[in-house]
Structure 1
Amino acid sequence: MSDGASLAFEYRRFSLSLSSPMETATGTIDSRDGFLVRLVDRGDSSGSDDAEAAVGYGEATPLTGWTESVADCEAALERAREAFRTGGPSEALEAVDRQVAARHAVSLAVADLQATRESTPLYRYLCRGPMVGRVPVNATIDDGSPSETVAAVREAVGRGFDCCKLKVGVRDVEADVERIRRVREAVGPGVELRVDANEAWTYEEAETALETFADFDVSIVEQPLPAGALEGHAALRERADGVGIAIDEGVLEHGVDAICEANAADAVVLKPMALGGIDVARRMAAWVCELEVAPIVTTTIDGVVARTGAVHLAASIPDVPACGLATAKFLADDLGRDPVLLEKGSAVVPQAKGIGVDGVWDGR
C-alpha cells in the first residue's frame, strides 16, 4: 500500500434510525450513531479523480457497554487522520489502538483499500483461501409469548432459515422452557435452536434450563451467566448434557485465551466492532478453531459497511457455524445499498473487489 503521503483520509458522522427501539443494559436506544471512514489512494496519480482511485471504506458505530463513546470515537478518528497525514496506516492504527470502534473503522478501511487494489474480495484478502459463495446465518427471535415465538420461528423457517436463536431471560425459566418446548413441537427436529440469555440467569436457573433444553435438542445456550462468571460457565459446561455453552459478553471481560484455558465454552461470539476490527477478530477465530472452540461472528447492529465486513470475516473462517449476520432488519435506514443477499438461511458473499459496498459516501 502507498504511504500516508498519497492517502486521503476522510470521515463523516451518520445516524441510522432503528426499526424499533432497542433495550440495552444502559437504557433504550432508537438510533445507531457513528462515523463512516473513507481512504482514497491515488498512488502516483495525485491529480486523478476519486472515480479513478482506489477507495477503502470503514465504519465506526460505538455502542455503550461494548465500545468507547461516540465523542471518544470521534477524537480517536481525528488522531488517526493526523497520523495518516504525517505517517501512514500503521501509525494511524497505533493512534486508535485503545478505541475499538475507531480502530475497527480504520482497520476495515485499510483492508478494503488493499483488497481493492489487489482486485480480490475482502474475505480472500483476509485468509488467502478458496472462493466462498455463502456463509450460514441464524435468525434472531426476540422475546415474546409462546404463540408469538412459535409464529416468529415459523416465519423465519419459511424464509429458509434452519437455525434460530431465541432470546430468553426476561421471564422466569419455567416460562422460557415452555416457549422452547412449543417451538420444538412446532418446527420438528430439522431446525437448529439456540438460546441467548444475555447474562440473565443465576447458576441454579441456568442449570435447570440446561437440563430441560437437552430434551428439546437445543444446540447452544449463549451467555447464560454474567460475564464475570468464568468458573460458573466452566462448571455448567461440564454438567451440560449435549447443550453447548457460548460466551459473548464474557469475551470482552476475559479474552479468548482465558476462556479456552478455563474450558468455559464450546463457542465464542466475535463482534468485530467491539474487538477492534475484523483483523483482530480473524486472529481470534483462527486461534479458537485450533483449540476446537467454534467462532460465531455477529454484529452490534451496525450499518452496511461494518455488517458486510462481518460477512467477509465469516467467509474467511473454514467451516464457520451459523452466524448472527441477518441484522439489517433492525435498521429503518442504512448508509447505502446492501450487497449481501440473504437466501435460504445463508448470506451470499459479495465477490466484487474489497468489501463490495458502493454509494455509501454520498448516501446513494
Structure 2
Amino acid sequence: MSSHPTPDLDELLAAARVVRLPMRVRFRGVTEREAVLLDGPHGWAEWAPFAEYADRDAARWLAAAVEAGWGRLPAPVREEIGVNATVPAVPAGDVETLLSGVDARRTAKVKVAETGQSLRDDVARVTEVRRVLGPAARVRVDANGGWTVEQAVSALTALAPLDLEYAEQPCRTVEELAELRLALARGGIGVPVAADESIRRAEDPLRVARLAAADLVVVKAAPLGGVGRALELIDRCGLPAVVSSALDTSVGLALGVRLAAALPGLRHDCGLGTGALLAADVVGDPLLPVAGRLTVARADAAREGVDAGALAAYRPEEERVTWWRDRLTRAHALL
C-alpha cells in the first residue's frame, strides 16, 4: 500500500505510544479521543482509526502514518491555508459561547442530522451560527449521511435561505447523493453537495465522480492512505477538494495541513481546526488556527514537538494499550 519501505511490526510497536485525550464537547458520540502516536525517523505520526472501523480501514490509516513517519511528504505549493470553525450539534443557545473561543471565524462547518435531534434544532443552530458570524461568513453543514433523500431535500430547502456554502455527505450512499443533486436542481435549491464518507470509506471512491454525485469532495489524509494517495485520488476525481480532519491530535492535523499545502488549486477553507475540540493535546503548542489560518511551519513543528509528559499523563489503562497494540498488529499484516 506504500511506495516506501514499510517498517516491520516490531519497529512499529516499539515506536507506538497510546493516548486518551479529553474533549471539550461531545463529538461523533465520544467525549474522549484515543490515538496512537508513532515516533518515526522522519517525525511523529498519528494512527487513530475510530474504534468501529474494520481492520482493512485501519490499515489505510496506518499506511498514512507510515508515510508521515517513515516516508517523504510531497513538497508544499503554499505556506498557509484557511481553516473553518467546527460547530458540533450543540443547542443553539450554546453557539455564541462556543464560537467566542474560536479564532477561525471566516468559515464554519455545522453538524446537523444528529440522532435524537430534529430539523428544527438544525435550523436553529445554523441560524445562530449565521447571526454570530455575519452575512459574509461561509457556512457549511455536515450530516454524516444521516438523511434520506426525502429528508435531505426537506432539510436543505429549509436551510438554503441561510446561504450555505455546501452540504457535506447529506445522504449515505453515492446513488442517494446523485438522486439528491437532481432533486435539488429540479427544485431550484442552490446548495452544492460534497462527498465525504463516500470518498474516504468507499472501495471505489471514483464512483462519486462517475455518477455525478457531488459538486466537490472532502478528503482526509489518514483514511485515504496518506498525502500521496489523497493527491492522486483528487486528481483522478477532477472535482474541487476540501481537506478535513478526523478529530486528530496536533500530529494528525499536521498531516492534513501538509495535504492541503500540496494541493493545487485549493479554493475552500479546510476543516483542520478541530484541535479546538480537544481539552488537551500531545504537543506544548497545539496546532490551532491563528486569524483563521494554519501554516506549514507550525504543522511541521507539531510533528517534531510531541511532549513526553503529555504522553505519560494521557496514557490510558493497560487494557486499552493492549487493545491498540493488537489492532496495530492486525493492521500491519494488511499493509
TM-score (norm 2): 0.77
How far is 1:344 from its partner?
1.5
Residue 19 in structure 1 maps to residue 23 in structure 2:
yes
Structure 2 residue aligned with 1:232: 176
Which of 105, 113, 118 pairs up with 1:169? 113
Alpha-carbon distance in structure 2 between the residues aligned to 1:2 and 1:274: 18
Identity across aligned pairs (percent)?
28
Alpha-carbon distance in structure 2 between the residues aligned to 1:57 and 1:178: 41
Aligned pair count reads: 296
Structure 2 residue aligned with 1:342: 289
Q: Work out whether residues 16 and 331 of structure 1, in 8 Å CA contact, stay in contact via their aligned partners in 2.
A: no
Q: Work out whether residues 257 and 272 of structure 2, in 8 Å CA contact, stay in contact via their aligned partners in 1.
A: yes
Q: Judging changes above 3 Å, is the alpha-carbon distance between structure 1 residues 4 and 136 closer, same or farther for their aligned structure 2 residues?
A: closer
Q: Judging changes above 3 Å, is the alpha-carbon distance between structure 1 residues 162 and 21 closer, same or farther for their aligned structure 2 residues?
A: closer
Alpha-carbon distance in structure 2 between the residues aligned to 1:349 and 1:105: 18
How far is 1:11 from its partner?
1.2
Alpha-carbon distance in structure 1 between the residues aligned to 2:222 and 2:4: 26
Q: Work out whether residues 194 and 220 of structure 1, in 8 Å CA contact, stay in contact via their aligned partners in 2.
A: yes
Q: Judging changes above 3 Å, is the alpha-carbon distance between structure 1 residues 155 and 21 closer, same or farther for their aligned structure 2 residues?
A: closer
Alpha-carbon distance in structure 2 between the residues aligned to 1:287 and 1:236: 23
Larger Cα Rg: Structure 1 or Structure 2? 1
Alpha-carbon distance in structure 2 between the residues aligned to 1:2 and 1:101: 15
Residue-by-residue CA offset, 1:110-135 (whole Å, 9 max, x unaligned): 33xx4xxxxxxx5xxx14x64x2310
Structure 2 residue aligned with 1:244: 192
Alpha-carbon distance in structure 1 between the residues aligned to 2:27 and 2:130: 27
Q: Judging changes above 3 Å, is the alpha-carbon distance between structure 1 residues 151 and 20 closer, same or farther for their aligned structure 2 residues?
A: closer
Alpha-carbon distance in structure 2 between the residues aligned to 1:211 and 1:4: 49
Matches within 5 A, 1:116-135: 122=73, 126-127=74-75, 130=77, 132-135=78-81
- Name stretches of at least 5 consecutive residues in structure 2 with no aligned partner: 311-335
Structure 2 residue aligned with 1:119: none
Residue 307 in structure 1 maps to residue 259 in structure 2:
no
Structure 1 residue aligned with 2:218: 269
Matches within 5 A, 1:22-171: 22=26, 24=28, 28=30, 30-39=32-41, 55-66=42-53, 68=55, 99-111=59-71, 114=72, 122=73, 126-127=74-75, 130=77, 132-153=78-99, 156=102, 159-170=103-114, 171=117
Q: Work out whether residues 308 and 339 of structure 1, in 8 Å CA contact, stay in contact via their aligned partners in 2.
A: no
Alpha-carbon distance in structure 1 between the residues aligned to 2:60 and 2:90: 33
Residue-by-residue CA offset, 1:33-92 (whole Å, 9 max, x unaligned): 3241312xxxxxxxxxxxxxxx443221221244639xx96xxxxxxxxxxxxxxxxxxx
Higher relative contact order (CA 8 A, sep 6+): 2
Alpha-carbon distance in structure 2 between the residues aligned to 1:264 and 1:169: 20
Q: Judging changes above 3 Å, is the alpha-carbon distance between structure 1 residues 185 and 351 closer, same or farther for their aligned structure 2 residues?
A: closer
Alpha-carbon distance in structure 2 between the residues aligned to 1:225 and 1:186: 28
Q: Judging changes above 3 Å, is the alpha-carbon distance between structure 1 residues 340 and 318 closer, same or farther for their aligned structure 2 residues?
A: farther
Alpha-carbon distance in structure 2 between the residues aligned to 1:150 and 1:136: 21
Q: Judging changes above 3 Å, is the alpha-carbon distance between structure 1 residues 284 and 166 closer, same or farther for their aligned structure 2 residues?
A: same
Q: Work out whether residues 58 and 105 of structure 1, in 8 Å CA contact, stay in contact via their aligned partners in 2.
A: yes
3-state SS, counterpart of residue 255 of structure 1: coil
Q: Which amino acid in the other structure matches residue 336 of structure 1?
A: V
Q: Judging changes above 3 Å, is the alpha-carbon distance between structure 1 residues 184 and 340 closer, same or farther for their aligned structure 2 residues?
A: closer
Q: Work out whether residues 269 and 296 of structure 1, in 8 Å CA contact, stay in contact via their aligned partners in 2.
A: yes
3-state SS, counterpart of residue 287 of structure 1: helix
Which of 150, 155, 168 pairs up with 1:204? 150
Q: Work out whether residues 35 and 60 of structure 1, in 8 Å CA contact, stay in contact via their aligned partners in 2.
A: yes
Alpha-carbon distance in structure 2 between the residues aligned to 1:154 and 1:191: 15
How far is 1:101 from its partner?
2.3
Alpha-carbon distance in structure 2 between the residues aligned to 1:66 and 1:355: 30
Q: Which amino acid in the other structure matches residue 95 of structure 2?
A: T
How far is 1:150 from its partner?
4.3
Q: Work out whether residues 67 and 100 of structure 1, in 8 Å CA contact, stay in contact via their aligned partners in 2.
A: no
Alpha-carbon distance in structure 1 between the residues aligned to 2:27 and 2:281: 20
Q: Work out whether residues 67 and 274 of structure 1, in 8 Å CA contact, stay in contact via their aligned partners in 2.
A: no
Q: Work out whether residues 84 and 106 of structure 2, in 8 Å CA contact, stay in contact via their aligned partners in 1.
A: yes
Q: Work out whether residues 135 and 348 of structure 1, in 8 Å CA contact, stay in contact via their aligned partners in 2.
A: yes
Q: Judging changes above 3 Å, is the alpha-carbon distance between structure 1 residues 286 and 351 closer, same or farther for their aligned structure 2 residues?
A: farther
How far is 1:12 from its partner?
2.0
How far is 1:258 from its partner?
0.3
Structure 2 residue aligned with 1:298: 244
Alpha-carbon distance in structure 1 between the residues aligned to 2:216 and 2:147: 19
How far is 1:328 from its partner?
1.6
3-state SS, counterpart of residue 247 of structure 2: coil
Q: Judging changes above 3 Å, is the alpha-carbon distance between structure 1 residues 209 and 154 closer, same or farther for their aligned structure 2 residues?
A: farther
